Amino acid sequence: MDQDRAPLQEALERMRRDRLVPFDVPGHKRGRGNPELTRFLGEQCLSVDVNSMKPLDNLCHPTSVIREAEELAADAFGAAHAFFMVGGTTSSVQAMVLSNVKKGDEIILPRNVHQSVINALVLCGATPVYINPQSDKSLGIALGMSLSDVRATMESHPDAKAILINNPTYYGICSDLKSITEAAHQKGMRVLVDEAHGTHFYFGRNMPISAMAAGADMAAVSMHKSGGSLTQSSVLLCGKNVNPHYVRQIINLTQTTSGSYLLLSSLDISRRNLATRGQEIFDKVERFASYAREEIGKMGDYFVYSKDLVNGDSIFDFDTTKLSVNTLGLGLAGIEVYDILRDEYDIQIEFGDLGNILAYISVGDKTKNVERLISALSEIRRLYKKERKGMLEDEYITPEVIRTPQEAFYADKISLPLQECEGKVCAEFVMCYPPGIPVLAPGEKITRAIIDYIQYAKSKGCVLTGPESMDVTRLNVLKGE
């Protein structure tokens, strides 16, 4: 297919040239009705913030330019079908899960999944079968899925309908995706891949294997992360054995009927950019990341992840575009370094957790910005380093699952002070955001270790989300359990 085309952009440009008189929504009428917003976002932007109309197709049932744009995306990603999503990769992940499992079905997944996965289980009623990932005690993070653990879980749960895999994790760690996919297909299970942080796997050189190349059935891809599209835009990919018409029906259960053409056109234009210049783009990103890793690694006290972690199993491969740095050697939690970078150096990184930071490097970066980050981390080491004591090091605590997420979420519940919740069953989510991996999910037992973790995370400045109690001083727990 002609990857130099961008059908949605072309259609929007035609509409703008035609100077249509709008008697439809949105009410700002190409920005004229809201001059303050137009001054802020610009006339170019507001002039294409339009509603579905015949020349622009309809996201819920595309037959022309959106359909053509999706076909180009499928071709670029090596998929049989692609769906443009405007509810973020959260909506892509949920559509992927809801398309494959229903109430009573089992789905195998690592526990360190994004909240959106467990949200989908709340909606559909499927039962999670967790593979508790191995962890690296020196880094305090969960790793990928061990192939032997996957095989053992498949043997003990032969009726599971699907398996979900992170490719990569937030920290850049990849499982043996191809072998896991082959093992799952031998058991008749669908393979679903959360590739929120793996857009570049499809377009860069010498990258870890992508979901579609590994033969997976579906993949949720965050184009807005490393792909350059607007925030909240995503792509859902399907393999040849997936019924795309059913998937479209599932998507339409929850996705808006008023798809933003700003988001849709950004997907179209970004796909063209990656398809025609992807290797060049991600060569540059990888060079930046490698240079930063080398310079930060020379400082001491920081530990910068790279392919030296690869063990052929739970860390089968590593995404070298990720600049993941462990900060515990400084006696500082990752979130403390995150705050210092923002407050003292005007540098905004992706996230900091209890022991690590992640700086997201992309084609939009410049050498001087990378140098500024390196210099700031060097100065933080000199000014803020302290004795390493009293630090909580494990990011991942293995949960004990008592009830399914749906059962627990909709069950009768009571609110208790956090300190009185030990031994109770949680009825809501608790997570540090980002990365959005639940510390607690509905149906899981609340232990003393988890309570201590929550309090420690709060003391270090982590943003905790999920509970009704905004300050996380109370939790909803199952009544009578």
Q: What is the pLDDT of residue 99?
A: 98
For residue 394, the model assigns a pLDDT of 63
What's the pLDDT tens digit per position in 299-333?
A: 999 999 999 999 999 999 999 999 999 999 999 99
Beta carbons of 163 and 217 less than 8 angstroms apart: no
3-state class of 210 per DSSP? coil
Q: State the DSSP H helix or E strand holding residue 317, giving kind and residue range, or none if neither.
A: strand 317-318
Phi, psi of 478 (to 5 degrees): -65, 135
Q: Which domains does the chain have, with CATH numbers?
A: 279-384 (3.90.1150.10), 405-478 (3.90.105.10)
Report DSSP letters for 417-476, one per residue. Answer: EGGG-TTPBB-S-EEETTT--EEE-TTBBP-HHHHHHHHHHHHHT--EESSSSTTSSEEE
Buried-exposed string 317-332: b where 16+ CB fall within 10 A, e elsewhere: bbbbbbbbbbbbbbbb
pLDDT at 189 over 80: yes
Between 194 and 305, where is the model more confident?
194
Is the pLDDT confidence value at 453 over 80? Answer: yes
Of the pLDDT bands very low, low, confident and very high (cuts 50, 70, 90), residue 52 is very high
Is residue 198 a contact partner of residue 169, using CB atoms and an 8 Å limit?
Answer: no
Q: Residue 454 above 80 pLDDT?
A: yes
Q: What is the pLDDT of residue 478?
A: 97
What are the angstrom distances between the C-alpha of 222 and each of 230, 359, 404, 475, 478?
10, 17, 28, 31, 35
Phi, psi of 413 (to 5 degrees): -140, 160
Query: Residue 185 has what pLDDT?
Result: 98
What is the DSSP annotation of 215-247?
T-SEEEE-HHHHS---TT-EEEEE-TTS-HHHH
pLDDT of 397 reads 80
What integer pLDDT is reported at residue 393 of this predicted model? 63
Whole-number mean pLDDT of the chain? 94
Q: What is the pLDDT of residue 472?
A: 95
Query: What does the DSSP assignment read for 177-205?
Result: HHHHHHHHHHTT-EEEEEETT-GGGGTSS
When pLDDT is averaged across residues 59-69 and rounded to a whole number, the result is 97
- Average pLDDT (44-48) is 94
Closest CA to 352 of 321, 326, 389: 326
pLDDT tens, residue by residue, 383-403: 999 988 777 766 678 889 999
pLDDT attached to residue 377: 98
pLDDT in tens, 256-273: 999 999 999 999 999 999
User: What is the pLDDT at residue 270?
Assistant: 97
- Percent above pLDDT 90 for the chain: 88
Cβ atoms of 228 and 280 within 8 Å: the answer is: no
Q: Is the pLDDT of residue 137 over 80?
A: no
d(CA 265, CA 276): 17
Please indicate whether residue 132 or residue 419 has the higher confidence score (pLDDT): 419
Q: How many CA atoms lie within 13 A of 133 on its CB side?
A: 27
Quick one: pLDDT at residue 395? 64
pLDDT tens for each residue of 361-383: 987 899 999 999 999 999 999 99
Asked whether the beta carbons of 104 and 74 are under 8 A apart, the reply is no
Closest CA relative to residue 72, chosen from 86, 82, 64: 82
| pLDDT of 117 higher than 80 | yes
Q: How many CB atoms lie within 10 A of CB 26?
A: 16
| Residue 118 dihedral angles phi and psi, to the nearest 5° | -70, -35
Give the model confidence (pLDDT) of 154-170 as tens digits: 999 999 999 999 999 99
Q: What is the pTM of this model?
A: 0.95
In the chain, the N- to C-terminal Cα span, in Å, equals 58
377 three-class SS: helix
- Model pLDDT, residue 435: 81
Which backbone phi and psi does 451 adopt, to 5 degrees? -60, -45
Other CB atoms closer than 10 Å to residue 403's CB: what's the count? 19
